[in-house]
Amino acid sequence: MFKYKRRIRFGDTDPFGIAYFVAYLNYFKEALDEFLRFMGFKPEFFYRNREKNYAFPIVSCSANYRKPLKYDDEIEIEVDFEIKKRSIIFSFKCDAADGKIVCVCINKDWKTIEIPKEVREKFEKAYIVD
């Protein structure tokens, strides 16, 4: 399981010092980008790979909140995934919330396609333990 740590910044909070609800989605997206780097993908080439004619736009995101985050709190977000035929569902979990981001694989014409073999193989090998 991949883990990403970050601190709550002042600009992420409301007048009461509580992280604004949309900030959690930003935290999940940051964690996703770092997870992709960990997996060996440059995020900009994962989301849109012109050379190989595929892209993974985000088509859905959600968050469920359990407790407020306050300015200067440190959080650790766990990232996991489920790979499907044409999409990848990324799951995020921390003490304060959990969420999901769904990316669908498309071609240059914005038609859904099967996940390319080289992408699938990287994900399938991600958590193989000898």
pLDDT tens for residues 75-99? 999 999 999 999 999 999 999 999 9
Q: Residue type at 22?
A: V
pLDDT in tens, 14-69: 999 999 999 999 999 999 999 999 999 999 889 999 999 999 999 999 999 999 99
Is the dihedral angle over the CA atoms 69, 72, 35, 20 positive or is it negative? Answer: positive
**Contacting residues for 81 by C-beta, under 8 A, at least 6 apart:** 35, 88, 89, 90, 91, 123, 126
Q: What range does the domain containing 68 cover?
A: 2-124
> Measuring CA to CA, which residue among 48, 54, 59 is closest to residue 106?
54
pTM equals: 0.92
Check which CATH number belongs to the domain holding 56 and give it: 3.10.129.10
Q: Do the domain assignments include residue 69?
A: yes
Q: Do the domain assignments include residue 19?
A: yes
How many domains does the chain contain in total?
1
